[in-house]
Amino acid sequence: MERQIECGEIDPVTIWMDHPDPTVKRNRQQAAEAFPGIMKLVAQQSITPNSAAIETAIDAGKPLIELVASQFGIKKSTVRCLRNKVSTLAKFVWWNRFGEMCLMLDMLPPEHLPVRSTDWRIFEEMWFGSTHIGDWSTHRNPDLRYQPDPLYRRILAGLCSAGYEASDKFLQRELGRDKSRRWLAVRAYIRAVRQWCGSGGNYGEPNLFLKDIAETCLAPEFLERYSASELIRQAARWKKEVRRAIRLEIANTAPEDLRDWPALPGMPYSLGNLTAVSLTNPGELEIETQRLNHCVSSYVKNCMLGASHILSIRTGEGQSLSTAEISLRKNTKAHAILGVVQHRGYGNQPPLAGCREIIDFVIEKMRGSEQNQLLRILNFHAARHERIKLIFAVDDDEYPSELLNRVMQRVLRDSQCAFAWLDRRLQEEEAWYWHCNEKAAVEFREFGFDDELTDDRAMEHYRATGNERCFDLSLRYWKNYY
């Protein structure tokens, strides 16, 4: 028996090409062979209203290159580059990311467009990989959907212009053969540059406004000072140097095993046939997660920092029944304060009554008789807090300012010039910031205000005087401010 074809199996382009008019059918088949990516969009009406114009031209047998170039806002040479490229790129690229691919190719000069199948393969890998390093924003043309940020485009364009095989070998040499992790290293470096600019370099810690300007405006400006290949080299050096700096910092100041932490005092506590056990290392948290099917194993960082203390409630035979997260802190009188943050049974279900009773018993017992031991635990965690943060710095992308400066001095070939550039630009931005403040203060005083003009205060002034100019002034001030 002949198998029935499900509707979902039929290619929309095949349906679109099956037109009753033989001439139109022939024209559509020819167009689909020449530009399969565009035909997918036309068939699914994905580029409305452009799809209607392209479809009309196809059905009439008119040339497509100039029309497609104008509809997508790209050069005709880019459209010609895509003609008959059916086997060189994956179907996913043609059918799902064609508009984005047009943007990427259009930024390259004609002599740097991919030609051979190996060029296309390398271009596709660099294109997909480098999307990890940029921030996406809505493109002015809704038909193209997305527009990558300038830094992402510039790095990709620089690598393509250097030659596809040469750039592929360069990436392997600098960032390794693992293509899935290459661009993550570049993204981590760009984030580190933003954090470094926001920390002020040698300038010193900036105020919140200046920090925001440094991270959002000065960091991209700083990165634009370097070529694509140099940024790749810097990313490779950053990855090595930041790990080296953290290893040295921890080795010099933390001989003890930082992945263990002290148990709460007096443990284990027993009440009836139940026992409260303090978990003191990642392995014990993982076992508890497997036993009770919840996420306590993800609390390693909190426990290492002393932000959480985990108690396991178990039977006499060692069976885990529930898990409690306990907080420990000092109050204003320097007394240790204990509290239950959460208490969960199997699969995050509420704990049994007996489990709740033993936790209450443990908290009251320690509050009354273990003050000195609790304070020692707090001091223990305070003494190693910064070292613990360094262990997680790579994963969290959060580094101390001093470490950032040391690493950047080793990463940047022109470190002295780079630090001087950042210092000068921060001074310029701060001068502009205070100039705006002084200018605004003069205008605010005209309305009887001695500080910033908020929307609420502008409304109060309007109700009192009927003068609407304060609204314009408030809006103009904030527009200039940012």
pLDDT for the residue 341: 93
More confident call, 392 vs 466: 392
Q: pLDDT (tens digit, 9 = 90+) per residue, 139-176? A: 344 344 445 567 888 888 899 999 999 999 999 999 98
Single-letter code of the amino acid located at 374: L
Domain boundaries, the chain: 269-369, 447-482
Q: Rounded mean pLDDT of 11-39?
A: 84
Q: Out of 173-182, 252-261, 424-433, which region has the weakest mean confidence (pLDDT)? A: 252-261
Angle at the Cα of 371 from the Cα atoms of 368 and 375, rounded to 5 degrees: 155
pTM for the whole structure: 0.68
Q: How far is CA 122 from CA 103, 147, 154, 185, 234, in A?
A: 17, 21, 17, 19, 22
Q: Is the dihedral of CA 235, 237, 241, 243 positive or negative?
A: positive
Query: Per-residue pLDDT for 86 more than 80?
Result: no
**309-315: strand order across its sheet:** 269-271, 274-279, 309-315, 320-330, 336-344
List of long-range contacts for 316-319, beta carbons under 8 Å, 24+ apart: 316/273, 316/275, 319/291
pLDDT band at 481 (very low <50, low <70, confident <90, very high): very low
Q: How far is CA 339 from CA 175, 326, 343, 358, 363, in A?
A: 47, 6, 11, 14, 7
pLDDT band at 91 (very low <50, low <70, confident <90, very high): low
Query: What does the block give as tokens for 94?
Result: 């043609």
Query: Per-residue pLDDT for 326 more than 90?
Result: yes
Query: Per-residue pLDDT for 475 more than 60?
Result: no
More confident call, 63 vs 134: 63
The CATH code of the domain at 269-369 is 3.40.630.30
More confident call, 465 vs 260: 260
d(C-alpha 303, C-alpha 280), whole Å: 8
Q: pLDDT (tens digit, 9 = 90+) per residue, 352-402? A: 999 999 999 999 988 877 888 999 999 999 888 878 887 777 667 778 888
Query: Per-residue pLDDT for 480 more than 60?
Result: no
